[in-house]
Chains A and B, each alone.
Chain A
Amino acid sequence: MAVKVEAVGVGKRYDGRRPSDAIVALRDFTLQIFAGEFLAIVGPSGCGKSTFLNAVAGLERIDEGRLFMDGVPITKAGADRGVCFQDFALFPWMTVRENVEFSLEAQGRPRAERREIARKYIELVQLSRFEDRYPYELSGGMKQRCALARLVAGDPAVLLMDEPLASVDAQTRLILQNEILRIWGENRPTAQRKTVIFVTHSIDEAVFLADRIAVMTSRPGQLKEIVVNPLPRPREERLRGEPTFSRLTMDIWDLIRDAAVKAIET
């Protein structure tokens, strides 16, 4: 399988006001993400998961190591790497349709074409009745759907999701997990799927969604282990009740627990 995104010995440091305040968010972080795979990153709070995602997005500079996409060093943000932010970051002055159209507008597509593509994705996330509404008129789950439609409308090769379901309620969360798989294109052959890097706090979410789960150490974040998920695709709801599902969730929790406890205490 082709490597889509590659991190080699990546380090990131945030300087504080005094040298003793400096925080090392990532140290010697090495990871390969394959084309068409759904990779989840889990780890204790503050382990640098989001920092890594932002670095791949080109929103943050790294201090050490190298970061490649398709073998080319990542230096800045680009439309080939779409980001779904934790707080959605929908543009509140744009309607659902305008939000979804924005990346197409950035590509300079003509209006009619934009509208047609946006309509397709709005339909995909079941927001057709709300396409002329503004974000403040939507529920949390609908905002998240809108953010997903905006993410995929511009057809980026890599989807970067930073805890996209952290702020919706538990039931909506389960529903949206299925939607994410559908939007990602679980039913298509691997070669036609997009590459996803999905950062989450929730271990069972990672187990339900991902092909592989990268487990990180506490700060400074390093790769602790990569867990290959044996669950078959398409992922069906009943898998949540399977022994394999619980065992995998437990195994990953075992890898994180000590660090997670420490993260709370410090």
Chain B
Amino acid sequence: MAPMRWPRRTLLVLILLAVWQWVVPHIVTTGPAFFPLPADVADGFTSLLGSARFWRSVVTSVGRVLAGFTVATAIGVVLGIAIGVAPRVEAFVDLTIEMLRPLPAMAWIPIAILWFGVGDVSSVFLVALGAFFPIVLNAAAGARTTARDYGKAALTSGAGPWLRFRRVTLPGALPWVLLGCRVGLGVGWMVIVSAEMVGAQSGLGFLIMEARSFARIDWVVACMIVIGLIGIGLDSTLERVQRRAAPWWGRVAA
């Protein structure tokens, strides 16, 4: 992504908000209870930001995402690199991964609740499941591509297996691993909200469902916006890590 240009980036958002506030009410006449205007949402936002419940929900959701993401990263990176360097490992797990991958994490909700009950463990499990596949597949692609492009150079330099792994495979796969983590974290954040709507009694997803049952549609929308903003924050943090850790990534091949 190009360097942040806030005026230009926010322009469309501001236009949409303006249309929503001043044009839409002339077309949709159901009233703010069904169709809250930006000004209503802003009010809802203010009351939300002042409530301890809201902040607890944010911490709960972010905590669950990070926990699930950590589990997914730990398993996904190790398994992915192993798949990338060892065809035998790939042959062993390939079919299993390809069969499980197309299943959306939501499809696991009933089983998650059955196994882990309603609460933290279920949510963390679902996040980990959602984040796992992009991480493992990118790590595998990274290790494989690195071996293809740089394996010969490492071999003819006389490097043994351990040195090749440590100085070539790992650093070469790193940007792919981080890319997988970015995608995985994004998926995890998407999963958590749905998971909490059904399988938890706390968190932002639960808060949305609760606000809906109190007919506080302004809170629902405010929560959605917060979820979006936190998503952007998590992603740009990892993007920065990626740029720092592998400045060469995406440049002209060496």
Which residue of the partner chain B has the closest CB to A140?
B252
Chain A window 97-132, contacts with chain B (Cβ cutoff 8 Å), 1 for yes, 0 for no: 000001101110000000000000000000000000
* B248 engages A93 (CB within 8 Å): yes
Count of chain A to chain B residue pairs whose CB atoms are closer than 8 Å in the complex: 82
Which residue of the partner chain B has the closest CB to A134?
B248
Interface residues of A (CB under 8 A from B): 57-59, 77-83, 85, 87-94, 102-103, 105-107, 134-136, 143, 150, 154, 160
In the complex, A79 Cα to B167 Cα: how many Å? 17
Interface residues of B (CB under 8 A from A): 149-150, 152-160, 163, 167-168, 171-172, 174, 246-248, 251-254
* B157 engages A103 (CB within 8 Å): yes
In the complex, A77 Cα to B251 Cα: how many Å? 29
Q: Which residues of B contact A135 (CB under 8 A)?
A: 248, 254
Q: Which residues of A contact B168 (CB under 8 A)?
A: 91
In the complex, A77 Cα to B174 Cα: how many Å? 26
Query: Contacts A90-B254, A105-B167, A143-B254; is A82 near B157 (CB within 8 Å)?
Result: yes
Which residue of the partner chain B has the closest CB to A83?
B156
In the complex, A92 Cα to B153 Cα: how many Å? 12
Q: Which residues of A contact B172 (CB under 8 A)?
A: 91, 93
In the complex, A92 Cα to B253 Cα: how many Å? 8
Main secondary structure on chain B at its contact with chain A? helix
Q: Which residues of B contact A107 (CB under 8 A)?
A: 158
In the complex, A151 Cα to B157 Cα: how many Å? 8
**Of B158, B246, B253, which contacts A103 at CB under 8 A?**
B158
Query: Contacts A89-B254, A93-B174, A93-B246; is A154 near B158 (CB within 8 Å)?
Result: yes
* A93 engages B158 (CB within 8 Å): no
Q: Which residues of B contact A88 (CB under 8 A)?
A: 254
Q: Which residues of B contact A78 (CB under 8 A)?
A: 156, 158
Which residue of the partner chain A has the closest CB to B153?
A89
Q: How far is the CB of B193 from chain A (nearest CB, A)?
A: 37
* A85 engages B152 (CB within 8 Å): yes
Q: Which residues of A contact B251 (CB under 8 A)?
A: 92, 136
Q: How far is the CB of B164 from chain A (nearest CB, A)?
A: 9
19 contacts between A and B (CB under 8 A): A57-B152, A58-B155, A78-B156, A79-B158, A81-B156, A87-B253, A89-B152, A89-B254, A91-B153, A91-B168, A91-B172, A93-B246, A102-B154, A106-B163, A134-B247, A136-B248, A150-B157, A154-B157, A154-B158
